[in-house]
Amino acid sequence: MLDGGASNSSGDACCGGEEAADVRRDEGDACCGSVPVRGPSETGEEPEARPQWWKDAALLPSAISGLFLIVGYVLAWSGLDISALVTQWIGLLAGAFTFVPGAVRGLLHGRLGVGLLMTIAAVGAVLLSHVPEAAALAFIFSLAEALEDRAMARAKEGLRALLTLIPETARISQEGGDTVVPVADVRKLDLLRVGAGERFATDGVVVEGRSSIDASAVTGESIPVEVGPDEPVPAGSVNGSGSLLIEATADGRENSLTQIVELVEQAHARKGERARLADRIARPLVPAVLVAAGLVALFGVVVGDPWTWVERALVVLVAASPCAMAIAVPVTVISAIGSASKFGVVIKSGGAFERFGTIRTVAFDKTGTLTQGHPQVTEVRTVSGIARETLLTWAAAVEAASTHPLASAISASVPNAQVASDVSEDAGRGVLGRVDGRVIRTGSPRWIDPGGLRTDADELAEAGMTVVVVEADGGTVGLIGVRDELRPEAAETVRMLHAQDINTVMLTGDDARTARALAVEAGIDDVRAEQLPTDKADAITRLTAERPTAMVGDGINDAPALASATVGIAMGATGSAAAVESADIAFTGHDLRLLPAAIAHARRGRRIMTANIALALAIIVVLFPLALFGVLGLAGVVLVHEVAEVVVILNGVRAARKPAAVRVHGAMAQSV
């Protein structure tokens, strides 16, 4: 509503600046100012759940109003006029209690809201001896407000659910034994003992033990992930069957989960372009309606029939009230953003959500976004007489002591490999060592001649691999191809985007040959390689000028491009702080298939917003002349107008439904 009185759900159209926002901020308004929701770690209490509708005290005034209104009608039909009038007055006062005080407060602060229009209409109806109509108006308006409150509360339940993922206590491992402390007291670098089935109190890195973790409630990824030493675990995820000792990488109060919650709270405090459009229509409409009603009443005085036209002025006042307009967008936006947070998509503002629904091009960073972010051995070529396993064993032995990413990939391909002796490393050229009496050397083709494997080396390089040549006792014995592989779902994601008529682009700092090879696998035609951060930002600026463009990245080097895009999307809300800060949307997980699903979710939300705004305007356009010429009386206008408002609310709540793609992928993961 533009002015909801005691209700706490008014849209931003009611705010009227900072002064007005301050009046309602203590009431928990969803749009006029975000109210931080405290988790159990800060208050010691569980977040309050939304009660069932028959137990919701906020619906009580409306229920009382409706009950006494019906009883009043029954008594009137029975001929008990005085008793009917008393019960109708009780119904009127019970309904008016929910919006009249707020309307008066708004008027004192210079705000003209729909609640004020309804107050004037109710008072006028009483003065004209239309108490039943005034009671009906109060009942339906208060009920619409209460239903809007419940819609807002439902949209925020995803945020409350995130907060409940934080346990109240954690076990800190110390020399004298384990100590149980409140989660708020956990500090970075503390060693935490996490038993089977327990939740992680904060982000950490595994120090000891192996287990699987269920991070579905945090990241939206349903398949448990195996973790061991030196591997990260996110706050709020559930440990599997093994006991783990982790080193906290964040405080109990400030971790990836609380960061996600803060981002969702920001979304509740901001509005999108289409919401501002609704406000621009609704705000001037309120005083315009008051002026129109005044002119109608003045016309009655001029023609000598003041009472008839004053009554019509009151009906016009109700008919042209932009109730539905005020709530057409906020309910939809908050419902959609709250729903998105539940499947791992954190949208930082209503504006970002609306722009997200217009996207026609998606630009991907390569490393860590389209790819898995760490190199792997993907192919091995050997000379005759040398087995693949032998070649890898020799290479892993000499690379074991190196910290180079390629060395790590080769070592990882041979678990528990022996370590070479007499190892020496020539930085940038290769590593030399002795294995089983042989002198083994590994390095780049630029420094070690592939010999008879030159053609193979070119083929591997053309396929986007970094080639490592292995030499034994001075002769080339094989090649190892290492590449940062595409994510398993990358090609499927690109196909899903193309099916939605969305173009895809790859932006990367890698060399053109590697970028093209991976782009072909992913199904991306437009490849722009060897891009510096400023080059990426310039490319995004040009793409955005042509059509709405989203940039997807996860690193500091992506931050300028993320900020330049129509919508910037950070992969992993716990990744680069610069990327997350620059982005409009953050994915808490790394499943790229959430991207086309989230775009479909945003498009659907925009369609619902458009329908709501069109319906709200249609209500005013249709009812105004009917009220002006006396076709509909006050009771009829109140009924049609407020029922239509309820329809707008229910339509907006539909935006909370998860995209079909998310439900399908979730079912697939669970079946596995």
For the annotated catalytic residues, the residue numbers are 365
- Look up residue 256 and give its two tokens: 């990836």
Under 8 Å between Cβ of 582 and 571: no
Helix, strand, coil content of the chain in percent (nearest 5): 55, 15, 30
DSSP code at position 504: E
- Euclidean distance between the first and the last CA atom of the chain, given in angstroms as a whole number: 47
**10 Å Cβ neighbour count for 203?**
23
Asked if residue 481 lies in contact with residue 380, where contact means CB atoms within 8 angstroms, the answer is yes
Torsion of CA 453, 455, 456, 461, to 10 degrees: 120
Phi (first) and psi of residue 346, to 5 degrees: -100, 110
624 and 320 in contact (C-beta within 8 Å)?
yes
**What CA–CA distance (Å, rounded) separates 599 from 264?**
18
* Torsion from C-alpha of 387, 388, 391, 394, nearest 10 degrees: -100
CA–CA separation, 487 vs 627, rounded Å? 61
State the amino acid at position 274 in one-letter form: R
Q: Is 585 helix (H, G, I), strand (E, B) or coil?
A: strand
Distance separating alpha carbons of residues 347 and 153, to the nearest angstrom: 18
Residue 576 tokens read as 């680069």
Is 526:385 a contact under the CB 8 Å cutoff? no
Residue whose entry in the numeric block shows the structure tokens 């949307």: 585
Q: Please identify which residue in the block is written with the tokens 């716990």.
A: 574
Q: Which residues contact 386 (CB under 8 A, 6 or more apart)?
A: 472, 477, 478
Report the alpha-carbon distance of residue 647 to residue 143 in Å, rounded: 12
Alpha-carbon span 417 to 389, nearest angstrom: 11
Residue corresponding to tokens 């001896």:
129
Q: What angle do CA 604, 164, 33 make, to 5 degrees?
A: 60
- CA dihedral over 195, 200, 201, 207, signed as positive or negative: positive
Determine the 3-state secondary structure of 391 from DSSP.
helix
Residue 504 pairs in a beta bridge with: 362
Q: Can you point out the beta strands (E) in 375-513? A: 376-382, 421-426, 430-435, 438-443, 466-472, 475-483, 503-507
Name the burial class of residue 63, with classes exposed (0-12), middle (13-18) and buried (19+) by CB atoms within 10 angstroms of its CB: middle
Structure tokens at 195: 């038993």
